[in-house]
Each structure stands twice: as C-alpha cells, then as structure tokens.
Amino acid sequence: MSSLAGLVQPTTRQLLTGTALLFLTAFYSPLTVLMLTPVYGSAPAHIFHGYGVALVGAAGWFLKDYIQRLTGRRALFLLPVVAFWVPTLQSFLFASSSVMGNPFGAVVTEVISYYPLLLLSVACAGKLVQSGLDLGRHGDAVAEHVPLVVSYVLYKTGEKFAKAFLAKFIGTTFFFSRAGLQLLLPVFYTAIAPSKFLLFAIPSLLFSMTSNVHMNSGALNSFLNEEGFALVARQDSTTGYISVLDNLNDGFRVMRCDHSLLGGQWTKMPNNYNPAVMDPIYSVFTMLEAVRLVETDHGEPRVDANSKALVIGLGVGTTPSALIHHGIETTIVELDPVVHKFATEYFHLPSNHIAAIEDATAFVKRTPPAQYDYIVHDVFTGGVEPLELFTLEFLESLSSLLKDDGVIAINYAGDISLYPAALTVRTIQYVFPTCRIFREASDSDLTTDFTNMVIFCKKSSATPLTFRDPVSADYMGSKFRQMYLMPKVEIDASRFETIEKGGRRVLHSMNTHLLHKYQDRSALEHWNIMRHVLPDFVWENW
C-alpha cells in the first residue's frame, strides 16, 4: 500500500482522481437526504443539510494538510471503509429518532454517519486537485485559491449531476435505489483507493447484506411481523420512498410516501359488509366525494351520466374510485408512476380511467378549456403542500378547465392558524368567488390546528353553494360514507380575511419561496402527528 504522498504528483492522474472523489462526495449529498426523508420527512431533512455540508466541506479543505499528517498520509485509503460503514451507522441511529426528535435527530445522524466521509473526501480530493494543477510556480495565493475554486466547481457540478441522475433513475433497479446506492458508491471509492484497510469494512458489509432492513425486505418483514405489521410492497420513486403496509391487528392497509401517508383502506370488515368502494381510513377522502352533491344554480341535482371529472393527486385512489363507480369519466393526474401502480394493484383503483402520469402544471397547460364538470385537487404529501399548485396562476388555469356550472373541491392539509392557510384560502376565493370551507373534525376533537380543510367552490357566482341531500346510491353500500360523506364542520371564511403585516392577499408563483419557513414548521408538526398515527418502529424501519 503506497501512501498519499507517493501518489500526489503533478500529473493528470492526480487531477482525475481528485475529480472522481469530488463527484462521489457530491453524490452523497442528495443521497444522504434521501436516506433521512423516510424517518424525518423531506422538509426537515433539508433544513440544516446545506449549512452542514458547506461547513464540513470548508473544514475538509482548510484542514487537508492537518488531516494528512494526523492519518499518517493514509486518509485516502480510509475513505472506502468509512463509506461502507455509513448505512450501518444510519440504521442504528434511525432507531433513536423518536428520542432525538426532529430536526435534531436528522442533524445528529449526518454528523455521525455522513460528515466524517465528507470531511475526509474533501481533504483528500483537495490535496489531489492542488497537486494535480501544480500551480506553485505562480505563488502561494494562486496555488491555494485556484484549486479551491476548481474543487468547488467540480463539487457543484457533481451535485447537479447526482440530482439529475436520481430524478431519472431512482428505483429502477436495486443498486439505483437509495439503499442500493449506499452499497454501490463505496465500491467506486474502493476502485479509487484499494487497500488492506477494507478488512475493517467487512462487518458493516455483512450487516448490510443480511440484517439491514433498508436493504433486505426479508429482514424488514420479519421485524414488522413481530410488531403486527406486514410489508406488502416498496419501491423508491420520483416523489419519495413508496411502500404499502398492512396492519395485521387493526385491519387496515396504508400507502406511505417518505414520512407521510397518502391514504389507506380498511381491510377487516364485518361479515356481509361489502361496500362498492372500500372504506378509507381518513374521512376527508369521503368528504371530497361530496363534490357531486353540489347543486347547480337552478337548484337541480347533477347527473353523473356524461359527466367528466379531473382528479389531481391520486393517493390510494379512494375519491377517483368513487367517481368512477358513479359512472363519471375520470382523468387522474399523478406525478409518481409508482403511486399509480400501487393504487391499482393494492387499493382496487378501477382500470377504466384516464391516467396522466405527469406534472399537474404541464397537464393543465396542454388541456383545452371547459372540459370538466368536477375537479378534485388533493396534492398533500411529505408533510407540506406543493406551493406551485396553490398559486393564482395555477388555480386560474384550473378554473379554465371547468365548465360554466362546474365545481371544484380542494383539500388543504396544514396548520390553519398559520399565514399560508389564510393566503391559500384568499387565493382560491379570488379565482372562485362562491366557496364554502369545511374541516375534517370539530375544534373540540382536535389537539392541534393541523387538519384537513376542504374548500368547495363553484365557477359560477349566481347563487350560493348548496349541497343536495344524499340518497342511498351515493353511499355505495358504505356505512362509513353514511357518516362522513356530507360535510358537517364548516369554517367561517372571514377568519382568513385579515392580512398579517408584510403579508400578501394572494399567492403568486414568483412568491412561493417566501413560505418555505412556514412549510418547515408545518412539516415538523406533521412529523409529530404521523408518529402518533403509526408506531415509531414503522417509520424508522423502512
């Protein structure tokens, strides 16, 4: 085994090796966030990640000479060992997420598992790039600062490539999954710096292959079965880690996306009870079906035959399944192909619908106007609302797709005491002047202001919005729908009229970045709620 001093020579080889290290290090940045999101949520995982990477990366560069002396100039050969231990350390740290809390637990996990790799990688890569450029003859300032700038540019280029790669290929094979990549990337480190130190990586590698639940479905299911749960399916995808879980004791099935639930259905039902559409575990999805019950301006009930509905955001498919059962031609816009696949295979989504697997903004832009009698807008995921789908511009585009007597139901999930909720309601009312707002439960039933709020609106403003009384066919043989189909707990819209100091009346697409701090707060609140919906071990063992 040669030392780093023997390798560092003013050659192209050293520059290429340093570049490869920086690209590998950059790839770990978004990958580490992906590993954190099933346990801590997407927004909380990002809160301090950028700051931490910048600080540790800078420390690696400026301490590169000290680190080489401290490790006896063998830091390069320690990198593969550290990389192989990252997933094992994360696995053990995730088990303490409920104790550490959020976002503190996410920070601690990165400090112990990822930052040591980042520190060593930048130190080694910086030394190699500096030696490869060999700018000493131009003075100390040039010899130190030009390699620093070059290293930064290489790192940012690698990070950009990593994000593009993950967006396109995540989940296509095991080694392109978030867990599989944590086995693949250390192999590349090994190719750069093979050594006998790799013997110290064997215990971690054995654990990863046999007992790490993130990499071994058999190990995960064995653990979950002992706690009364079963893994039905799982796959990484464009919007996050998607899985289907059965609760074997209480009798329900859910679809998970990172640290959030997209919905679920009851699977354990009384004998001779067979609703046409499975009962959801959340009443809000049944309430959304009431979009059919909104009366026309003439007070007439709407006719399902020859009607068309657009559903933006699929979840497990409860609401679109009901619309399809009622004979309504239903188009579903869903960004994530795995969500659509799992809803079809595991949640009884009927096949007789039009599926548009694409971004909702792109779909709306290319769709001719006045197409739909009903629109259901239900896009909450990952603990936050996608702000771009609540802007004035997007909602105006949605309005153009409704027929003149059309109706829209918008599900907003969040803390309704915060500024974004009021801003969202005002934006909706600016586009749709005739609205009524309902929440999932009454104030006395809640211990938090985080709730589902459904805004029903008509395109026409000729008459107030009213609902017809449901009939037996509306319930589709479901006792659950008899209880929850009709919206009951109405919210006074006047509570959202006050504009706080420095606030805006409506949300424009150019201003969505101003709400990120509120989204972080909402995501942390949602994280705590989810930890009461399912046990900690379910979220920690994905």
Q: Among 538, 423, 436, 426, which residue's Cα sits nearest to residue 488?
A: 436
In this prediction, residue 1 carries a pLDDT of 43
Residue with tokens 């105006």: 396
All structural domains of the chain:
4-215 (1.20.1250), 218-265 (no CATH), 280-540 (3.40.50.150)
Asked if residue 48 lies in contact with residue 165, where contact means CB atoms within 8 angstroms, the answer is: no
Category of 228 on φ-ψ map: left (φ > 0), alpha (ψ -120 to 50) or beta: left
Axis crossing angle, helix 12-40 with helix 178-192, rounded to the nearest 10: 160
DSSP state of 306: T
Alpha carbons 390 and 504: distance in angstroms, whole number? 14
Residue with tokens 């009443």: 283
In this prediction, residue 6 carries a pLDDT of 47
Beta bridge partners of 230: 246
In this prediction, residue 510 carries a pLDDT of 96
Q: What is the Cβ-side half-sphere exposure of residue 292, based on CA atoms within 13 angstroms?
A: 28
Residue 228, both tokens: 């009364």
| Strand (E) or helix (H) holding 308 | strand 308-312
Alpha carbons 539 and 4: distance in angstroms, whole number? 42
In this prediction, residue 144 carries a pLDDT of 87
| Strand (E) or helix (H) holding 407 | strand 402-415
Q: Among 339, 164, 94, which residue's Cα sits nearest to residue 235?
A: 339
Neighbours of 262 (CB within 10 A): 26
CA 465-468-472 angle, to 5 degrees, is 150
In this prediction, residue 384 carries a pLDDT of 79
Residue 135, both tokens: 């700018």
In this prediction, residue 37 carries a pLDDT of 97
Q: Among 530, 163, 211, which residue's Cα sits nearest to residue 383?
A: 530
Residue with tokens 């585009």: 397
- Write the single-letter amino acid at 464: P
Alpha carbons 243 and 541: distance in angstroms, whole number? 12
Alpha carbons 188 and 170: distance in angstroms, whole number? 18
Neighbours of 418 (CB within 10 A): 18
Asked if residue 437 lies in contact with residue 455, where contact means CB atoms within 8 angstroms, the answer is: yes
Alpha carbons 499 and 251: distance in angstroms, whole number? 45
Question: For residue 103, is the peptide bond before it cis, meaning its omega torsion is within 30 degrees of 0?
Answer: yes
pLDDT, tens digit (0-9, with 9 covering 90-100), for 356-388: 999 999 999 999 999 999 999 999 876 778 999
In this prediction, residue 444 carries a pLDDT of 45
Alpha carbons 60 and 125: distance in angstroms, whole number? 9
DSSP state of 531: H
Question: What's the whole-model pTM score?
Answer: 0.93
pLDDT in tens, the chain (542 residues): 444 444 445 578 899 999 999 999 999 999 999 999 999 999 999 999 999 999 999 999 999 999 999 999 999 999 999 999 999 999 999 999 999 999 999 999 999 999 999 999 999 999 999 999 988 888 888 988 999 999 999 999 999 999 999 999 999 999 999 999 999 999 999 999 999 999 999 999 999 999 999 999 999 999 999 999 999 999 999 999 999 999 999 999 999 999 999 999 999 999 999 999 999 999 999 999 999 999 999 877 789 998 999 999 999 999 999 999 999 999 999 999 999 999 999 999 999 999 999 999 999 999 999 999 999 999 987 677 899 999 999 999 999 999 999 999 999 988 888 899 999 999 999 999 999 999 986 554 545 678 899 999 999 999 999 999 999 999 999 999 999 999 999 999 999 999 988 899 999 999 999 999 999 998 999 999 999 999 999 999 99
CA dihedral 10, 11, 13, 17 (to 10 degrees): 20
The 308-312 sheet, strands edge to edge: 354-356, 329-333, 308-312, 372-377, 402-415, 450-458, 434-439, 489-491
In this prediction, residue 382 carries a pLDDT of 65
Backbone angles phi, psi at 205, to 5 degrees: -65, -40
Alpha carbons 400 and 367: distance in angstroms, whole number? 10
pLDDT, tens digit (0-9, with 9 covering 90-100), for 3-48: 444 444 557 889 999 999 999 999 999 999 999 999 999 999 999 9
